[in-house]
């Protein structure tokens, strides 16, 4: 039994689709000419990506450097620092380290310069043991500043900066230079076993002692445990409060 015309048409449509094309019916020479024009008009046009070299520039590159990895091969492609913030790369997709984070999906295009603008965070009175910079949702450490290196480059986004067990939430924009100026509490005559500092919920956030009689904290209300009771105080940004025993 021979297949009907509709069955033959259906088969041709399926064959065209399987080959990644389209089926255009034509019953006469005139219809064929019109169909060919329609096929040309509806054909897909794709722009080929130019191959070659482009440049990658990191504004405000960090002293500790940024490693660049080719996303397709996984191989190291370049290294940036504050003394070399621009390099020539083959066109492609790359990942760039910023602190402990990875800036992924960075594309370089032929004869063009791709510019990344991390934010720069500076913490005044940064702790000797360091202030951790955390991703708020996961708690993952993205970097750290200290009194020997109080600034660092970070990807734009939301972070929490630790001061002991206290945190200072921040939002860092691309290209922004954000300076945190915490308050400082000091205790003259502090005992060797230390004096706890607590927040308004009664959680211990830090301590001062004979070996470290001052501490930087985010603005807020606190209590200092001393002999015979507690001293309540409120720290403002950049303020220093000194107690004496």
Domain ranges of the chain: 53-116, 119-180, 183-244
Classify residue 141 as left (phi > 0), alpha (psi -120 to 50) or beta: beta
- Give domain 183-244's CATH number out of 3.20.20.80, 2.60.40.10, 3.40.50.10140, 3.40.190.10: 2.60.40.10
**pLDDT tens per residue, range 109-165:** 999 999 999 999 999 999 999 999 999 999 999 999 999 999 999 999 999 999 999
Please tell me the pTM assigned to this model.
Answer: 0.76
**pLDDT tens per residue, range 185-239:** 999 999 999 999 999 999 999 999 999 999 999 999 999 999 878 999 999 999 9
Asked if 106 contacts 118 with a C-beta cutoff of 8 angstroms, the reply is no
Q: To the nearest whole number, what is the mean pLDDT of the chain?
A: 88
3-state DSSP helix/strand/coil percent for the chain, to nearest 5?
A: 10, 50, 40
């Amino acid at each position: 039994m021979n297949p009907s015309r509709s069955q033959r048409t259906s088969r041709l449509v399926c064959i065209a689709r399987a080959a990644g094309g389209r089926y255009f019916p034509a019953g006469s020479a005139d219809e064929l000419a019109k169909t060919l024009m329609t096929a040309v008009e509806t054909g897909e046009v794709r722009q080929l990506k130019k191959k070659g070299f482009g440049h990658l520039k990191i504004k405000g590159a960090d002293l500790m450097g940024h490693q660049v990895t080719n996303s397709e091969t996984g191989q190291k492609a370049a290294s940036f620092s504050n003394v070399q913030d621009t390099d020539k790369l083959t066109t492609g997709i790359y990942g760039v380290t910023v602190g402990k984070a990875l800036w992924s999906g960075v594309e370089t295009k032929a004869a063009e310069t791709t510019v990344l603008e991390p934010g720069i965070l500076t913490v005044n009175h940064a702790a000797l043991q360091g202030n951790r910079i955390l991703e708020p949702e996961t708690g993952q450490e993205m970097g750290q500043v200290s009194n020997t290196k109080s600034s660092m480059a970070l990807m734009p986004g939301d972070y929490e900066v630790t001061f002991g067990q206290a945190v200072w939430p921040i939002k860092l924009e691309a290209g922004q230079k954000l300076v945190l100026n915490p308050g400082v509490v000091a205790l003259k005559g502090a005992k060797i076993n230390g004096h706890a500092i607590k927040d308004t919920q009664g959680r211990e956030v830090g301590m001062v002692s004979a070996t470290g009689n001052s501490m930087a904290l985010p603005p807020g209300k606190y209590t200092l445990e001393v002999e015979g009771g507690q001293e309540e105080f409120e720290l403002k940004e950049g303020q220093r409060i000194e107690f004496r025993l």
